[in-house]
Structure 1
Amino acid sequence: MPHDSAPIPSRRDFLKGVGCLTVGFVLFGANPLLAAPGNPELPGSLQDNPRINAWLEVLADGRVRVLTGKIEIGQGIRTAVAQIAAEELDMPLERVEVVLAETGRTPDERYTAGSASIEQSAMSVRYAAAAARQKLLILAAAQFKTTPGRLTLRDGAVHASTGRQLSFAQLLGGQQLTDEVRLPIQLKPKANYRYVGQSIPRPDIEQMVRAEPYYVQDLRFPGMVHARILRPPSYEGRLASFDTKALQKAVPGVLQVVIDGSFVAVLAEREYDAKLAQDYGRLHARWSGGRKLPADQPLAEHLRSLPAVDKRTTDKGNVDSLATDATLRASYFKPYLMHGSIGPSCAVALFDKNELHVWTHSQGVYPLRDSLAKLLKINPDNVHVKGVPGSGCYGHNGADDVAADAALLARAVPGRHVRVQWSRDDEHAWEPYGSAMLFDMAARLDPKTGRITHWQHELWSDTHSTRPAGSPEKLLAAQYRATPLLPKPEDDFSGGIYRNSEPYYDFPAVRVDTHYVQGPLRVSALRSLGAYGNIFALECFMEELAVKSGQDPYEFRLRHLTDERAKAVIRKVRDMVRSEKLAARQGLGVAFARYKNKAAYCAVVAKVSVAPEEDGATIRVLKIWSAIDAGEVINPDGLRNQTEGGLIQAASWTLNEEVLFNTQQVTTRQWEQYPIFRFDEVPLVEVAVLNRTTEPPLGAGEAAQGPTAAALANAVFHACGKRVRQLPIRPEKLL
């Protein structure tokens, strides 16, 4: 990490890189087509941007640059997209460079979310590059007076069998490809793949290990000012008084104090002075008001008691008979969870010559640009937002909020970069959390066949996304200014609430009732959204039904599935643990899900040990196995790493994590109160990848979360005979 005395990269150096072929792609739209020329439509991103020059720019030095509106959040998109572009253009991988999201430079891809990096965006790169290849061969054939089939692409040039060659730049003569991308497009035969399907290492990992400048937290600029924010002790608290003269006397290094209503910030030349000023302000600033939190009632009961917007999200057959003849009923609960980013949120902003420049780890640079433009009442064309990876993400954390902090403060010191770094206390207390959820389950088993005939799933949950998306009132700073912008209750019944609530199994009668409530804490998107809680409840309930009917848990699931790919991952993970031996008070638990019921298939088995009650009933996760089918695999090591990370993170959620609060404020403000897995708690993990090269790639980054939670709960039951239905599964719940 650079220090103030270290060489400081200029903005030009940090954003450098011109003179190459440019490929852009857009995230949202129709589903991508299969990797075959005969499909009826193009990927949605190409439908939105149909011309080749929206994706490809040929420059003089023969390199290839991929411009993506997506941000790197650990999913390895930079490497995977480079593999795809290099493959279709027959370029050396080392001559392909990927540039991340930046307004005015890359396409507007909205948000990097929903495990869509490969499934949607990378496939757009594949077709854009293939269309460019096709056009370049046609242009070269005209000059060589031959047919495109007699030519080849290699190393940034088109080669003829005679030995003649023309570079891409020579072929275009300084012009660009302006044709529309149209079907049919001849994709490169999979048998000839050189890069796709290979475990190409991620170069950025070495940068992280060597602590080289990589994250937004590492950014330094000449003359940069450091800033910290003072927050009220509770939601909706308002500033009553703050003696700024006393602050500047106590901390002489303070450059400026900015007070706009209850938005309070301190700026200093040195980061240490900004931190000292923040500490002083926490002791001496006085606040009034604040919203009371419902700490006097169990959260599960509170969710059930709240006014709700009701929606029947699945209705198949008739389950009314469950009111009187259910074989089993159970309720499950998931608490609020933090993103728990290792590096607290950070942003840098510069206001210069009526233009705002922001460096951010936001997952959506264009939506953030629009939100900041409205917040500051300036033209969006005068706002430039550059995406830079952050140290930890996992959904909508404080990245957008800290960018708004920096943007507001940059106007106070025009011409100077302002770096706002949240503290751990800021991050833990003010980030938008993953929503708490409550589930009631009921089912009926046919007494003769042992099969499930009726299934009912009822859930209560807050929204799972409050991303700004052009709405400045959703930014934290906007809510505390002198003229506050206050968020309205979400009127969008988000599908993230009931994600994976509908069973992927084949049941004759299924009903899912969803109740959308306004919970007490600030919430937004956390990795997998509602799928984590819904799959936890669904797969625990499946296990309980299997146990009640005396059936093998693997066979019980298999006999309710018709999708052979779903069956394959369950059989694979069963084979992976077939020879596993269990000691006393050890247990294995299995769970399965297909993420969003249309993305990657994932089966998980967890092995745990539970100490006797006299020893505290402590739980130890010994190993977790997973089998995942994400269709065609671009980078097997990348997919494996994503799954391994998902297994470990979900295990920490399931056994350790819970946001706690009293009537005044969130109380889990440090790692001591909000314990994530430490290194000595991390289990062994083993992931088997089922590579289906003839199938389209599927989103996989969030596939492991729900199955891991249920597998652990099921393993704990088999180890000690106690069923825990309320997360986290802490030892005291086994006593």
Structure 2
Amino acid sequence: MSSTTEFGRRAFLQGGSLLMAFALMPAARKALADTEVDTLGTVVLAPDLPGSLRTNPYLDAWIKVGVEGITVYTGKVELGTGVKTALLQIAAERLDVSPAAVTFLTADTALTPNEGYTAGSHTIFDSGTALFNAAAQVRQMLMESAARRWGVEVSSLQTGGAMITAPSGARMSYAEAVAGVDLHQYAKASSPDISPEQFKLIGHAIPRLDIPAKVSGGAAFVQDMRLPGMLHARVIRPPRPGCTLTGFDKQAIERLPGIVKVVEDGNYLAVVARDEWQAIKAMRAGYAAATWTTGEVIPDQAVIHQLLPKLQSRRYPIQHEGQPTPSSGKTYRARVTKQYLMHGSIGPSCSLAWFKDGRLTVWTHTQGVFPLRAGIAEMLGLPLAAVRCIHAEGSGCYGHNGADDAAADAALIAMRVPGLPVRVQWMREQENLWEPYSSAMLTELEAGLDSSGRINHWKYQLWTTPHNERITNAGRLVPARMLARPFASAPSVPIAHPEGDGDRNAIPLYQTGASDIDMHFISEMPFRTSAMRSLGAHINVFAIEACLDELAAQAGVDAVEFRLSHLTDPRARAVVERARDEFAWPRRSSAPGTGIGLGFARYKNIMGYCAVAVEIQVHPQTGEIAIQRVVTAVDVGQIVNPDGLRNQVEGGIVQSSSWTLYEAVSYDPGGVRSYDWSGYPILRFPQLPKHVEVHLIDQPGQPFLGAAEIVQGPMAAALGNAVADATGQRRLALPLARKA
């Protein structure tokens, strides 16, 4: 590494010194994927088994059968995507029981398998595949047990309603049959076959498990939880990261009404009170009483994309292959930028913790209860077995927001008031200022055509800070960094391809002739950045699809036909053709300012396919962008719950529209200005698309491919192409519209 590394980002930002970004050539990142840890951070024990059985191969880790009934477990969590319902459908289908006959438990470190994080559209892909096979094998073993008891052939038996029936009419419950079965054994690599025509639950819509409490005002979220004798806590954060506490009148805060405890440990401050309003008032008094040093230097938002390539980085080669064919001279070059985004969770982060009888229990809306448990245990110096993390759904988030840090707050504070449960609720400004952001990014692209109008070369460079600062050690937790004996964060390491990090979907699925694609990974920046839905795919698909439109124009070919001519994957072609036909491409309104655009991607090039066609209206005076119509076609393999899938696609359309048109964290050397909703614009109800169509292409019997993140990139791309069509100008700096 260059010797300039020692000066750090402060030297650059204060003195204008140039930190040289040497293009080091590390070992291929594929080596990371070849270790015995999967992409979600769990140890691979049985690499030949399907889905998450690779990391949790014992059948009784997933399914238990007894006199009390059937219990099914998953290490994945419900984030509002409906996956809990879909996973239950899969398990019940293969067990041949009603969903109502199953007790379904999710993400509890004391009970469920360790599936790492619920992220990257892996839930149905991994956990669903595991349950599909584990449930089928358990049912088969129960039938074999009954067959032995009755002395008949297994093939002569039938199941239904958790009962096994023989040709003679004899009946045996699953609970009786399990007496002759040992479920504590590795799953097999193959499972009993089932024809998709036999599915009773998979492929059909059933009511969501998580909806009733949400629409009835019930206790739907961790924010709604209340425990007996519960205390309320609030944290007092520094003005910005890197600040050191220089003064605090602890005794004055302790004298306030209702105060049970004031926690002061290095730069960590918190107050604990008997009711929530007392805690809020004490927190406000604490903010007024605390004094701090200046803290980290923050750059100016206006120059962030000039700064990124100048910072110390490490080059990761993504793809370098092929030789360009003779060029026609028709070339397109683009520089595409994205600002920092925040998750903008509707409910600020919250957690409850209870330290009792030497054991700590934490209720949290984390996306990874097992990694969080390890981080909290390390931070507190507790044995791993003494910490239990239980997932409770949070009010809004896809990605790494403040959930883990709020859980660490609750754990840290609960240790100071043993025997009493503690609830920590962040305030809106704390969520906005302290959650990890989605990285600002810069991409530079060059592509050209040969004499036959086909793409003959593709050069793509991107600069990004980390998209994966999940909890791999205590130092990844904000409270642990502030203690008198602080923990240092584990080094930043990008996710291996093809999953990808900032480079997710940086390789086009199109035939591009020669390709040279690199990621410049910057690990030192003034903002902590981590996972947000789709990671780098949002900007990478946007950039790729803008280039496809521009090259199509230079070739004199319709944009959709140009894409189809460069796609060889038949399922990719099918979603593009379906979106084209349902949209009646290139039909549009005759009103002035109308534009149409299309975007396509296969998520990570290994998961679900999605094509989106949009029609927009750009107001000639104000420049306001109105989304008139969205038509989407998706293929995620075997569909589990079509209603849930449609909901996910519709939600992704809205979220991507908000990112692409409006969202950006506002900041300057004085600090972050997006501390409330007035400083962070999001899509409002009047700006929703006027008309949305979602067309599902089912693939019965094919593997589950995951759906939650497939639309973010294609929707952004379709909007960008539609704006260019409407205005005649290609906008390449996200967000595209004026702030709402």
Q: In structure 1, how many angstroms separate the alpha carbons of the residues matched to 2:205 and 2:44? A: 26
Q: In structure 1, how many angstroms separate the alpha carbons of the residues matched to 2:295 and 2:135? A: 55
Q: 1:292 to 1:178 in 2, by over 3 A?
A: closer
Identify which of 450, 462, 467 aligns with 1:464: 467
Identify which of 607, 610, 622 aligns with 2:618: 610
Contact 2:42/2:114, CA 8 A, preserved across alignment = no
Q: 1:32 to 1:206 in 2, by over 3 A?
A: farther
Structure 1 match to 2:553: 547
The residue type equivalent to 1:338 in the other structure is M
Identify which of 230, 236, 242 aligns with 2:236: 230
Matches within 5 A, 1:284-683: 284-295=289-300, 298-318=303-323, 327-446=331-450, 448-469=451-472, 471-487=473-489, 489-492=491-494, 495-517=500-522, 518-578=524-584, 580-612=588-620, 615-683=621-689
Q: In structure 2, the residue corresponding to 1:378 is in which secondary structure?
A: coil
Cα offset, 1:491, TM superposition: 4.3
Structure 1 match to 2:179: 173
Q: 1:32 to 1:529 in 2, by over 3 A?
A: farther
Q: In structure 1, how many angstroms separate the alpha carbons of the residues matched to 2:495 and 2:623? A: 41
580-589 vs 120-129, greater mean Cα deviation: 580-589
Structure 1 match to 2:50: 43
Contact 1:334/1:533, CA 8 A, preserved across alignment = yes
Question: C-alpha offsets along residues 238-277 of structure 1, whole Å, 9 cap, x if unaligned?
Answer: 111122333345x422222111111100111111111122
Q: In structure 2, the residue corresponding to 1:709 is in which secondary structure?
A: helix
Identify which of 234, 248, 267 aligns with 2:272: 267
Q: In structure 2, how many angstroms separate the alpha carbons of the residues matched to 1:273 and 1:565? A: 58
Matches within 5 A, 1:121-160: 121-160=127-166
Q: In structure 2, how many angstroms separate the alpha carbons of the residues matched to 1:263 and 1:98? A: 38
Q: In structure 1, the residue corresponding to 2:485 is in which secondary structure?
A: coil
Q: In structure 2, the residue corresponding to 1:592 is in which secondary structure?
A: strand
Cα offset, 1:192, TM superposition: 1.2
Question: C-alpha offsets along residues 102-159 of structure 1, whole Å, 9 cap, x if unaligned?
Answer: 0121011111111011111111101111111111111111112211111111111211
Structure 1 match to 2:84: 78
The residue type equivalent to 2:548 in the other structure is M
Q: 1:312 to 1:355 in 2, by over 3 A?
A: same
Q: In structure 2, how many angstroms separate the alpha carbons of the residues matched to 1:179 and 1:485? A: 39
Question: C-alpha offsets along residues 433-486 of structure 1, whole Å, 9 cap, x if unaligned?
Answer: 11111010101112x3211111111110011110112x0001000111111113
Q: In structure 2, how many angstroms separate the alpha carbons of the residues matched to 1:245 and 1:53? A: 53
Contact 2:64/2:72, CA 8 A, preserved across alignment = no
Cα offset, 1:321, TM superposition: 9.0
Contact 2:45/2:57, CA 8 A, preserved across alignment = no
Structure 2 match to 1:698: 705
In angstroms, what is the RMSD of aligned CA positions? Answer: 2.3
Q: In structure 2, how many angstroms separate the alpha carbons of the residues matched to 1:279 and 1:732? A: 31
Q: In structure 2, how many angstroms separate the alpha carbons of the residues matched to 1:244 and 1:127? A: 57
Q: In structure 1, how many angstroms separate the alpha carbons of the residues matched to 2:714 and 2:568? A: 19
Q: 1:555 to 1:304 in 2, by over 3 A?
A: same
Contact 1:625/1:687, CA 8 A, preserved across alignment = yes
The residue type equivalent to 1:432 in the other structure is P
Identify which of 728, 731, 735 aligns with 1:724: 731
Cα offset, 1:30, TM superposition: 11
- TM-score normalised to structure 1 length: 0.91
Q: In structure 2, how many angstroms separate the alpha carbons of the residues matched to 1:330 and 1:181? A: 50
Contact 1:291/1:664, CA 8 A, preserved across alignment = no
Contact 2:468/2:495, CA 8 A, preserved across alignment = no
The residue type equivalent to 1:393 in the other structure is C
Cα offset, 1:97, TM superposition: 2.6
Identity over aligned residues, as a percent? 42
Structure 1 match to 2:193: 187
Identify which of 49, 73, 98 aligns with 1:67: 73
Identify which of 106, 125, 138 aligns with 1:100: 106
Contact 2:141/2:181, CA 8 A, preserved across alignment = no
The residue type equivalent to 2:704 in the other structure is P
Structure 2 match to 1:111: 117
Cα offset, 1:189, TM superposition: 2.3
Q: In structure 2, how many angstroms separate the alpha carbons of the residues matched to 1:720 and 1:534? A: 22
Q: In structure 1, the residue corresponding to 2:66 is in which secondary structure?
A: coil
Q: In structure 1, the residue corresponding to 2:65 is in which secondary structure?
A: coil
Contact 2:245/2:293, CA 8 A, preserved across alignment = yes
Structure 2 match to 1:162: 168
Cα offset, 1:93, TM superposition: 1.9
Identify unmatched segments of 5+ residues in structure 1.
1-25, 34-39
Cα offset, 1:184, TM superposition: 3.9
Q: In structure 2, how many angstroms separate the alpha carbons of the residues matched to 1:658 and 1:638? A: 29
Q: In structure 1, the residue corresponding to 2:347 is in which secondary structure?
A: coil
Question: C-alpha offsets along residues 539-595 of structure 1, whole Å, 9 cap, x if unaligned?
Answer: 111112222333211001110100111111111111121154342101111010000
Q: In structure 2, how many angstroms separate the alpha carbons of the residues matched to 1:365 and 1:724? A: 41
Q: In structure 1, how many angstroms separate the alpha carbons of the residues matched to 2:476 and 2:261? A: 26
Q: In structure 2, how many angstroms separate the alpha carbons of the residues matched to 1:29 and 1:689? A: 32
Contact 1:82/1:97, CA 8 A, preserved across alignment = no
The residue type equivalent to 2:70 in the other structure is V
Q: In structure 2, the residue corresponding to 1:312 is in which secondary structure?
A: strand
Q: 1:714 to 1:410 in 2, by over 3 A?
A: same
The residue type equivalent to 1:80 in the other structure is A
Cα offset, 1:717, TM superposition: 1.1
Cα offset, 1:643, TM superposition: 0.8
Q: In structure 1, the residue corresponding to 2:656 is in which secondary structure?
A: helix
Contact 2:51/2:128, CA 8 A, preserved across alignment = no
Q: In structure 2, how many angstroms separate the alpha carbons of the residues matched to 1:643 and 1:708? A: 10
Q: 1:262 to 1:343 in 2, by over 3 A?
A: same
The residue type equivalent to 1:718 in the other structure is D
- TM-score normalised to structure 2 length: 0.91
Cα offset, 1:29, TM superposition: 7.5
Contact 2:45/2:56, CA 8 A, preserved across alignment = no
Q: In structure 2, the residue corresponding to 1:603 is in which secondary structure?
A: strand
Contact 1:258/1:264, CA 8 A, preserved across alignment = yes
The residue type equivalent to 1:653 in the other structure is W
Contact 2:595/2:723, CA 8 A, preserved across alignment = yes
Q: In structure 1, the residue corresponding to 2:210 is in which secondary structure?
A: helix
Structure 1 match to 2:60: 53
Q: In structure 2, the residue corresponding to 1:203 is in which secondary structure?
A: coil
Cα offset, 1:638, TM superposition: 0.9
270-279 vs 642-651, greater mean Cα deviation: 270-279
Equivalent pairs counted in the alignment come to 696
